[in-house]
Chains A and B, each alone.
Chain A
Amino acid sequence: MTKDRRVGERPRRRGPAHLDRTRRGHRRRGGGRTSAGALLTSAPLARVATALVLGCQVAAVLLVGTYARRGPRLWGVPFFYWYSLMWLVIGAAGMAGCVWLLGRSGTAHPRVAVAHATTGAQADGPADGGPRR
C-alpha cells in the first residue's frame, strides 16, 4: 500500500523541488533583486507578503468596532453581516494569491523539504540550503 503511494507520488514531488533548486541558484547568482521578475520570486519577500495578507484578514475580522453598524444595507443585508462575508471572499482570494506567490518563489516547501527525506534526498539540499544562505 505505502509502496504504491510513493511510486505514484514521486514525480509530483520531484517537480517543485527541482524547480526550487534552479530558481534559488539563479537568484543567488544574479544578486536576485535587479528586476521586478526577480523580486517576485524572492522567497523572503513572498513570505512577508503572505504574512501581511493573512494578518490583514485576521485583523479586519477582529476589529469588530470598525464594522458593527447597521447601514449601509446591501440587498437588505445590514453592513455588519455583509462586511463579514466580504472578508471571507477577500480572504479566500488572498490565500489563493499566497499559494501562488509561495509556489513561484519556491518557498512552498520552506525548510521543510527535509520532511520529504522519505521520498529521496534530492529534496534536502536546495530547499534547506537556500534559506540558510
Chain B
Amino acid sequence: MSASGAAAVQAGGVPVPVAAVQVPAGEVQAAAGGFHGAQFAVFAVLLTGVALLGVFAARWRRGGTGALASLDDWGLAGRGFGGFVAWFLIGGDIFTAYTFVAVPGAMYATGAVSGWYAVAYTTMVWPVVFVLMPRLWSLSHRHGYVTPADLVRGRYGSRSLALAVAVTGILATMPYIALQLVGLQAVLEVMGVGTGSGNAFVRDLPVIIAFGVLAVCTYTAGLRAPALIAFAKDTLIYLVVAVAIIVIPHRVGGFGAVFDAAEGKFDAANAAATAAGRHPSAVFIPGPKDFLAYGTLALGSAMALFMYPHAITGVLATRSREVIRRNTAVLPLYTLLLAFLALLGYVAIAAGVHTTNPRLAIPLLFDQEFPPWFAGVAFTAIAVGALVPAAIMSIAAANLFTRTIYVGHLRPAATAAEEAKVSKIASLLVKAGALVFVLGLDTQNSINLQLLGGVWIMQTFPAVALGLWRPRLHRRALLAGWLVGMVYGTWQAYEQHSPLAHHFGGSLATVPGLGRTGYIAVTAFALNLAIAVVGTVLLRLGGVANGPDETAAVPAGTALPSPRADQPEPAPSP
C-alpha cells in the first residue's frame, strides 16, 4: 500500500510528514525497555515455520518438473492462481507491514488527514481495479506481458517510453522494499531484540537473517513463496486485529471514550502548537481547508496504487480476468482490516501509550495490552507482513529490469531460461540494496524516497492505464508529459519544508490557481495528462505517426471499436 502512507498532512495546510516527527529506528527505547524473552520465543518459532513454508513453496502448484525456467513460471507462478489464492496474494501484496505500522502511527500522531485518508483511498482503489485490471490482464495474457513496461512497449511500439515506465517503477519500488525493513525493525525494537548491543551488526542481525531467508525462498520459488506465505501472514493478522479491536477498546471504556481521548489529545496538541507559534498539526475531523488535501491524497493514492509494479504482478498471476473482477467485491475486507488498525492508533492514545516515534505506537500497544505469547503472535504477523510484499516487490522490480533493460536494451536475443536467471539474480540484488540502504543510512532517506515514489509512479498512469483503451495517446506526447510530471513532482516535493525536515517535508503543496494545498502527485499528473493530450492533438495535426500497436495486429479486423473505447472508465476521472 502506498503512496504516501508515511506522508502526513496537516490542518492549516502546512504539510509535515509523520516521518519528520520520527526518530531513526534504534534510538527510541524509552517505552520498550529490555529484552522480552517470551515474546521473542513465540516470534522465533512462528517465523521459522513461515520460513519452512517458503522453502516448501517451490514445489507448490507445479505442473511440470525441473527449475522454474521462464519468467511466467518464476515471476508469475505460472499465471494460474484462482480467486482464493489471488485474494491472499493481492491483499498481502498491497497491505504491507509498513502500512500496518505507519497508518496507525499517523493516526496516533496527527489524526484523520494523514492517517484515515488511507481508508478512503483503499475504498476507492477497488472501483479503479474493477475497471482497469481485467483489461490489463487480458492484454498481458494475450501477448505474454509480464510488467507494465512490456505493455507500454507493445502498445505504443516505443522502447524509450517503456524504459521510462520501467525506470519509474524500479525507482518507486526500491525505497518501498526498504520501508518494509523499517516495519520489521519497529517490531524487533519493541521486543528489545539487539537493543542492548552497541555493535551495529549484532543489532541488525535479526533483520539480516529474516531477509536472507526471504531471499533464498524467493530465489528458488519465485512468486510462489510470497503467495504461500501470504496465507500465514493474513491469517495471523486478521486474528490479531480481530482480537485487538474487540478486546482493547472495551478495556479503555468503549469507542466513545477512545474517540474522546483522541480528540482531547489533538485539541491539546494544537493549542500547544498555536501557543508556540507553529501551525496546529493534528486533525480530528477535516476542516474546509483540508478537503482538497484529503480528497486528492485519497484519489491520487488510489490511482497510483495499481501502477506499482508489484500490484500489477499480483494481478497478472491470476488465472482469469473474472478472478480479478470477482475479487474486487471481497478485497475490501482488507480495507476494513486497515480501518480497524488505523483506529487502533486512537486506541493507543486512549490506552495511554506514550512514544515520540509514532511507528512504535501499535507495537507498544500490543506489548502493553496483550499477554506476552499473543504479543509474540502479533509481532510475527507484522514481521511476515513485511516479508511478503518485500518478496513480491523485489520480483516485480527484477522483472522490470530483465524485460525492459536487459532484454529490451542489452541482450534482445535472450532466451526464456536466461530471462528467468537474470531476474532471479536481480531480485537478490534489489533486496541486498534495500538492506544496505536501510541499515546503512538514516531511515528518513527511505521515507523521503517512498514519498517521492508515490509521486513518480503516478506519472506512469497516462501511459499505462490510458493505454489500455483507444484512442491511443501519442507516444512522444506521453513521454513529454511523463518528463514534465516527474520534474514538477520532484521539484515540488523538494521544496516542501517542515519544522523538522528541510526538504521533502510532506506530500502536499499549494495547487497553483486554487490556493489550497493538494497532493503533489495529482497536480503533477494533471500537468502530465494535459501535455499528453494537447501534444497528441498537435502531433496528429502535424501528421507525425504514432508507434505501431502490436496489440491491434493479431487477428485482422478485430480492431477494437472506438465508440466504446473510453466507456468503462468512470472511476479514475470522477
Residues of chain A having any CB pair with chain B under 8 Å: 1-5, 9, 12-13, 16, 47, 50-52, 54-55, 57-59, 61-65, 68-70, 73, 75-78, 80-81, 84-85, 87-89, 91-93, 95-96, 98-99, 102-103, 108-112, 114-118, 124, 128, 131-132
Contacts and interface: CB of A to CB of B under 8 A. Distances in A.
A11 to B, nearest CB: 12
Interface string B291-302: 100110011000
18 contacts: A1-B62, A9-B319, A54-B131, A54-B570, A55-B571, A62-B124, A64-B294, A68-B285, A68-B286, A76-B254, A76-B256, A76-B257, A81-B116, A95-B329, A109-B321, A111-B561, A116-B141, A118-B142
A126 B561 CA distance: 14
A84 B112 CA distance: 12
A4 B561 contact: no
B126 interface: yes
Nearest to A85: B339
A92 B329 contact: yes
Contacts of B199: none
Given A91-B126, A118-B142, A61 B120 contact: yes
Q: Considering residues A69, A91, A116, which has the most beta carbons from chain B within 10 angstroms of its beta carbon? A: A91
Given A52-B570, A111-B560, 20 more contacts: A1-B78, A5-B319, A55-B127, A62-B298, A62-B574, A75-B255, A80-B112, A80-B116, A80-B286, A85-B339, A87-B123, A88-B336, A95-B328, A99-B326, A103-B322, A108-B325, A109-B321, A114-B555, A115-B142, A124-B558
A93 B328 CA distance: 10
A64 B554 contact: no
Given A124-B555, A131-B564, A54 B339 contact: no
Contact of A84 (B64, B116, B288, B561): B116
Nearest to A87: B123
Contacts, number: 170
B124 A57 contact: yes
Interface in B112-157: 112, 116, 119-120, 123-124, 126-127, 130-131, 134-135, 138-139, 141-142
B406 to A, nearest CB: 22
B336 A58 contact: no
The main secondary structure of chain A at its interface with chain B is: helix
B130 A51 contact: no
B26 interface: no
Contacts of B326: 99
B141 to A, nearest CB: 6
A84 B299 contact: no
Contact of A112 (B120, B138, B284): B138
Contact of B568 (A51, A61, A91, A114): A51
B41 interface: no
B568 A84 contact: no
A131 B568 CA distance: 13
A116 B287 CA distance: 50
B78 A5 contact: yes
A65 B135 CA distance: 33
Interface residues of B, number: 67
Contact of A68 (B291, B321, B328): B291
A132 B561 contact: yes
Interface string B317-355: 001111001101110110110010001000000000000
B119 A85 contact: yes
A63 B292 CA distance: 9
Interface string B377-418: 000000000000000000000000000000000000000000
B72 interface: yes
Contacts of A59: 574
Contacts of A51: 567-568, 570
A114 B254 CA distance: 55
A112 B295 contact: no
Contacts of A88: 119, 123, 332, 335-336, 339
B259 A77 contact: yes
Nearest to A109: B321
Interface in B307-323: 319-322
B258 interface: yes
Nearest to B338: A88
Q: Considering residues A2, A64, A103, A131, which has the most beta carbons from chain B within 10 angstroms of its beta carbon? A: A64
B333 to A, nearest CB: 8
What 8 pairs between A and B have smallest CB-CB spacing? A76-B256, A4-B63, A115-B138, A96-B329, A76-B255, A1-B63, A112-B138, A1-B64
Interface string B262-300: 000000000000000000000011111011001100110
Nearest to B329: A96
Contacts of B319: 5, 9
Contact of A58 (B134, B333, B554, B574): B574
Nearest to A93: B329
B189 interface: no
Contacts of B571: 54-55, 58
Contacts of A108: 322, 325
B34 interface: no
Contacts of B554: 114, 117
A68 B257 CA distance: 20
Given A88-B339, A111-B561, A70 B127 contact: no
A9 B320 contact: yes
